[in-house]
Structure 1
Amino acid sequence: MTILKIVTHPSPILTTPCEEVTVFDDELGILLDNMHETMIEHDGVGIAAPQVGKSIRVAIVDFDEEQEIIEMINPVVTATGGSEVEVEGCLSFPGLFGEVERPFHVRIEAQERDGKLYELEAEGYEARAILHEIDHLNGVLFDKKIQRVVDPSEFEDEEEDDE
């Protein structure tokens, strides 16, 4: 597998809505595997194809080894509910963190790497990550949704409080 280069802001590919995937082949599978390796290498929990230079509707969310990797091809949000404000970051905005309001609950329809359709419901942090990546596919970046920029030192203070 290959670690891909992360595209950073202000590259225009990040603000361009992505094309629907119509071919489900080995090349798509390789891209998904490489995206996952790239995301892990950069300590991310999600990554979208435009972040690696591909303007197609493909994204991944992966929290830990206990949960299955969520591969989303041509995802569509079918329902949302609730609301919460939490701090987000983004691989395409190194060092930028901010409070973003998003729905607490999401339901999506998407396709797997073989083209099979599936539905998924998620809440909390998982819903937030899914919606963040789907925003990428629509050319919407989290910096436009930030209510308050958070200094990284605020994270260090929280970690010290937890010890």
Structure 2
Amino acid sequence: MGVLTDYFRAADAADVVRAMRTEDGDPLVNGEHAVFEGVEAKGVDAPIVLGALIAAIRQVPWSADLVAETMVWPTTPMPGPDGPAAEDDPWATGPWVSRLDPAVRDTLADALDAALPDTVARWARTEELYGASAEDLLPVAQSLVTLARRARDDDQQLYCWVCL
């Protein structure tokens, strides 16, 4: 089972929550009726794999704090430490949407186009990418950079939609 991951831009969390309710949690960026401009990036989870891209762009070692996220969906409180969420609880089943720290958006937006192939070559060595080639990853990175630039230009934030 793979993890589905989409990145998109939106004005604010309220817009995202409205869209999640209207679309009943379905993906917000694919298909004819995309709600937001975004990038389908299956398996590119925010903290690890996107974090590795951020590390490659910044030319720093990966660390868990490179991609800070704020959860915006589900809107119900996360279950406490007394036990796991019920099987039908959205915290157990997803989808989940988080707002990425503006520093992530800005790092992507500031990526140098000329340096991106070398950056992606470093990113492709990330263990979690399971041997994906830099050639296959370059269009994903370019799309994320373009999305981040548009988000910053329009004073929007980047969000990550994830589902199992």
The two structures have a TM-score, normalised by structure 1, of 0.29
Q: More helix by proportion, 1 or 2?
A: 2
Q: Higher RCO, 1 or 2 (CA under 8 Å, sep at least 6)?
A: 2
Q: More strand by proportion, 1 or 2?
A: 1
The two structures have a TM-score, normalised by structure 2, of 0.29
